[in-house]
Structure 1
Amino acid sequence: MDVEHNESIGETKSAIQTWRYRHHFTYKADQGKNIIVQCNLCLPRVNLLSTSKTSTSNLKKHLDRTHLGCDAKPAAKRGRKSNDYNGEESRNCQLKKIKAEILSKCMSQAKTDDLIFNFIVEDCQSFYVLEQPGFKKLIAGLTEGLKSMDRLTLFTKVDLGFSRMREALMAKLGSVQYVCTTADIWTANSRSFFGMTCHWIDTRSLERKSAALGFARLHGRITYDTIAGRIHDIHVAYNIESKVQTTVTDNASPFISVFKEFAVENQDTEDDIGFYENVGAILEGEPEQDMLLFLPTVQRCASHTLDLIVTEDFWQAVSQGPMCQLHYSAMAKVFAIWSKCHHLQVGMDAAEEIAKMSLVVPAVIRWNVEYCGVQKIVSLTERELTELCARLEVPRLQPEEMAFLKEYVTVFHPLAFALELFQAEKKCYLGLVIPTVLSLKNKLNEQKAAAHYLGDVINAIVMAIDVRFQELFASTEAKIATATTPQFRLWWMAASEREEMCSLLATEASQVEPCLETDANTSQKSSSNLSEDDFFSYGPVKQTEQNQQRGVNEEIGKYIEGTGKSLACLQDFPRVKQLFLKYNTTLPSTAPVQRLFSQKGNLVTSQRNFLTDDYFERVQLLRYNSNVCSLFTE
């Protein structure tokens, strides 16, 4: 029975009696100003709804939310023509059907599997989560009955996604002329991993692009020939061995031995050429000849070099100076505060309550995080610091210790800023290093006159900068990279050296093509339409070479005299732009590959134990390269 047939039973008159969708509801009971009806479309499930006697808005909302596209055939309203009513009804039904189709597509099984795959890869979840009963119920409830995929399907999607990602990455790298790679080794939970990332600059937008190439497990003893083989194999696998300008590594001894033995610049004689022996083939009993191994030139990580200066050289200078005891006592009290705030919830609450901020607790590795922690403590007022030390039950910092820490923060602020610049990725180039180091030296020397505690330490650090960056200051590649960066040009050089640098830039620019983005069809067409005048030649055309050299000199001169600092101005200097792409593709630090290792959940959790080394590497590469290839497989 619908509502119209139950008028006598309910003995009430309401707005639903003249409503065009009344046939979808059955009257059940009268409840004061409301009536209770049952939805016929929800059968066999009994769904009782309450609505006002004077309004049907609740019931209309129920139809719109639960029964999109329902076949409503109400009677015509009073005072309305039947044709107008039928047209409106048709449009409403058509709109509801479209909404129903969109909803059905969003809730498809394939789309659900893609979302689960994205969840597993992006958050580095264990594959076993798919078999948990709670996760299955969650998926079924959110998708209205769809099922969660099993682990076998997930493994298949990982293989398919990895293949698609690899093909897309190789296609991108195939169209790139210059490439830089970064390499590093990380050990955690008694396991060692070798990671490598790849970086290039888009020729049109001049934006830096990045991708991960490898995240392999290292077994056994780590030797320099093993590392060299890994680097070479990855370069060959992605077909970039001839495009890699440099490989950026830290200053650790394994990488120093690798590039000392195998780098191209050291292979002047036949005796110096390195050979890579395939150990795996020997263990498997397969005869394998030694393969000739060439590696690109190496670029030392600038941020790691600065980190060594503020850890090793700084500590050595402080330990030999008169401020040793003062520095030790001040930092000991600071570390006591950090320890309480890190390990005790009471300490964290006290810092947030008193200082109205979260106190930074430094990591073990990065000095700049430690500097930020000292900066936070120094920013506290004397009352706040005294109350914080009392709440944490740690020794209070004396006035002289606070004065030492404030000078420490002031003196080393330029160094912390330089570290932040080097650890950037998108807007950091090799041409940034020399001006940054020169500016750092100048700012440290400016602090020397006003320094009361750290004057001798500043001298030691400036000398350490000269020693550790000596190779970089003598590098021709670094000088060209700096000169082709519009922000610096030749402003950082002494006036006596600028003429020689202009000649070097002109020589390099004359050896590159001004525009490499040529269409293959255009080049074929121009070669096929060779005229007689172009064919006949009687020796070198000296005038053309002279005109070309004159054009190069004019372009270099205009670039040097320019004042624009954005990379967009390089579009007006095509040869300088090519030099920028060649020499500034190199990154100054290994920060990207360190971020690859430090991604949440990849090395430090037990979830890694549920995957083989091969699938663990695939998941990490898919996660890092999601900007290159979408994780969705549809």
Structure 2
Amino acid sequence: MPVHMRCAAHTFNLVASKDADAALQIIVFKTPYRSALAKARSLWNQQSRSTVAADSIHAELGRRLVLPNTTRWNSLYDAIVVLNSILETKRPSLHRVMTQLKILTFNDQDVTVMKEYAKVMAPVANALDRIQGEAQAYFGSLLPTIAATVYKLKNIKSKGLVNCTALANALLNGIEKRFGPLLNDEQCLLAAAFHPKFRLIWLETYDSSRVDAVKKVMEKKVEDALRQEAAENSKDRDSLTGRGCNASNNDDDEEEDFFNSVTQSIEKPKSSNSLKCKAQSLVKMWLDMKSKDSFNDAAFLGEQIFINLFIEYNTAIPSSAAVERLFSTGKDILTPKRASLSDENFNMLMFMKGNMHLMPDD
């Protein structure tokens, strides 16, 4: 079993919630952010608590607002993104309904801080969606996702922010604190290195000084795999030549095989140097290839060794979100009356439950 690791989705959630709160110690961010968020929360509360207010909002804006909840951080991000869209396209209508509901309207500073908040939080929200997704959620995608998030945050920060520089710093510090050890973890590095999309391309951008060290570890893993493959092939050849089996007593066979002992070429075992050279050559070819989104044979150079190494290091998933959804579905099936379900029946029920959306309505 792989070593237990914290769920990356939950960790990103902590970065965006707990670690981001450190920015509230900076007055330049704290005052305008709390002012804008207080007005937004008043509007969200009116919609959630009053059907009259909800109808007024829908009538004026042509839609309902997205409401944040306490369990998912990105629900707040999604709610602010929708609010920003309305402020950009229907600001007079929004102000009209807020005045009607006796809520303080958004001023220019509120609009600026909410736009910057959404802009800064976007990389973290996108990373969270990718990590907890069920498609392409290989373990090797974790470090490139972290690296891309850090790169995007630094890029946003470098272009200049009016109020949210402190928020960007808080997120960067949170990512370093919570994900820093993983960026030195051999399993994580090799999972990305043997992934056909990432290889070491991401590391060259993120920290080029570490590329050579990871490359040497890759060469060692490929060399070990080649040595194991050679040993297995030798064992197969021994079994095919009949060693350990009863020899034939046929005179014709003896005559035919009489000169084998002096004429058959002796296959010399491959030396460690030749295996090492081949491993270096294979790794070089692998790293020289461009990023591949597909997982066909060509994406792995047609080498079974790279397929095996990909499976070995990418079997684990970076987030427990998909597993939690599985247990959530299983809870509906494992009722007290069905506690004695056989494994086969449980598998069939889980399969049917998870694919109900494919069943025709009629």
Q: Does the TM-score normalized on the shorter chain lie above 0.5?
A: yes
Partner of 1:154: none
Deviation at 1:399, TM superposition (A): 2.4
After superposition, where does 1:314-329 map in structure 2 within 5 Å? 314-329=20-35
1:429–1:586 CA contact under 8 A, matched in 2: yes
Partner of 1:423: 132
After superposition, where does 1:172-571 map in structure 2 within 5 Å? 244-245=1-2, 297-380=3-86, 381-449=90-158, 450-493=160-203, 494-512=207-225, 528-531=239-242, 542-566=269-293, 567-568=295-296, 569-570=299-300
Deviation at 1:368, TM superposition (A): 1.2
Change (3 A) 1:628 1:600: closer
After superposition, where does 1:52-63 map in structure 2 within 5 Å? none
Helix, strand or coil: the match of 1:563? coil
| Aligned counterparts of 2:104 and 2:331: Cα–Cα separation in 1 | 37
Deviation at 1:443, TM superposition (A): 1.6
Change (3 A) 1:325 1:492: same
Deviations 1:509-553 (A, max 9, x none): 23336999xxxxx9998664325689xxxxx95535444433322
Helix, strand or coil: the match of 1:298? coil
Q: Which protein is bigger by CA-based radius of gyration?
A: 1
2:20–2:174 CA contact under 8 A, matched in 1: no
Helix, strand or coil: the match of 1:420? helix
| Aligned counterparts of 2:34 and 2:290: Cα–Cα separation in 1 | 48
Change (3 A) 1:492 1:595: same
Supply the RMSD in Å over aligned alpha carbons: 3.6
2:139–2:191 CA contact under 8 A, matched in 1: yes
Change (3 A) 1:596 1:390: farther
| Aligned counterparts of 1:410 and 1:355: Cα–Cα separation in 2 | 23
Deviation at 1:508, TM superposition (A): 1.0
Aligned residues: 322
1:559–1:573 CA contact under 8 A, matched in 2: no
| Aligned counterparts of 2:315 and 2:277: Cα–Cα separation in 1 | 28
| Aligned counterparts of 2:56 and 2:310: Cα–Cα separation in 1 | 51
The residue type equivalent to 2:120 in the other structure is V
Unaligned runs of 5+ in 2: 244-259, 262-266, 357-362
Change (3 A) 1:409 1:629: closer
Partner of 2:312: 582
Change (3 A) 1:406 1:564: closer
Change (3 A) 1:495 1:400: closer
Deviations 1:17-65 (A, max 9, x none): xxxxxxxxxxxxxxxxxxxxxxxxxxxxxxxxxxxxxxxxxxxxxxxxx
The worse-fitting range, judged by mean Cα deviation, of 327-336 and 523-532 is 523-532
Deviation at 1:580, TM superposition (A): 1.0
Between the two proteins, what is the percent identity of the paired residues?
22
| Aligned counterparts of 2:324 and 2:274: Cα–Cα separation in 1 | 48
Deviation at 1:558, TM superposition (A): 0.9
Helix, strand or coil: the match of 1:412? helix
Change (3 A) 1:563 1:627: farther
1:359–1:376 CA contact under 8 A, matched in 2: yes
The residue type equivalent to 1:557 in the other structure is K
| Aligned counterparts of 1:394 and 1:308: Cα–Cα separation in 2 | 31
Deviation at 1:611, TM superposition (A): 3.9
Deviation at 1:400, TM superposition (A): 1.5
- Structure richer in strand, relative to its length: 1
The residue type equivalent to 2:129 in the other structure is E
Helix, strand or coil: the match of 1:469? helix
2:7–2:320 CA contact under 8 A, matched in 1: yes
| Aligned counterparts of 1:601 and 1:338: Cα–Cα separation in 2 | 33
Deviation at 1:600, TM superposition (A): 11
Change (3 A) 1:321 1:546: same
Change (3 A) 1:486 1:601: closer
Partner of 2:252: none
| Aligned counterparts of 1:629 and 1:413: Cα–Cα separation in 2 | 32
| Aligned counterparts of 1:393 and 1:601: Cα–Cα separation in 2 | 45
| Aligned counterparts of 1:386 and 1:336: Cα–Cα separation in 2 | 13
1:432–1:482 CA contact under 8 A, matched in 2: yes
Deviations 1:232-259 (A, max 9, x none): xxxxxxxxxxxx22xxxxxxxxxxxxxx
1:556–1:576 CA contact under 8 A, matched in 2: no
The residue type equivalent to 2:322 in the other structure is P
2:197–2:292 CA contact under 8 A, matched in 1: yes
Aligned with residue 351 of structure 2, among 611, 619, 625: 625
Deviations 1:175-198 (A, max 9, x none): xxxxxxxxxxxxxxxxxxxxxxxx
The residue type equivalent to 2:177 in the other structure is V
| Aligned counterparts of 1:338 and 1:445: Cα–Cα separation in 2 | 32
Deviation at 1:595, TM superposition (A): 2.0
| Aligned counterparts of 2:312 and 2:178: Cα–Cα separation in 1 | 25
Deviation at 1:627, TM superposition (A): 8.5
- Structure richer in helix, relative to its length: 2
| Aligned counterparts of 2:192 and 2:285: Cα–Cα separation in 1 | 17
**TM-score, scaled relative to structure 1:** 0.46
| Aligned counterparts of 1:617 and 1:455: Cα–Cα separation in 2 | 56
Helix, strand or coil: the match of 2:105? coil
Deviations 1:401-436 (A, max 9, x none): 122111111121111111111111221122112122
Helix, strand or coil: the match of 1:543? coil
Name which structure has the greater RCO, CA cutoff 8 Å, separation 6+. Answer: 2
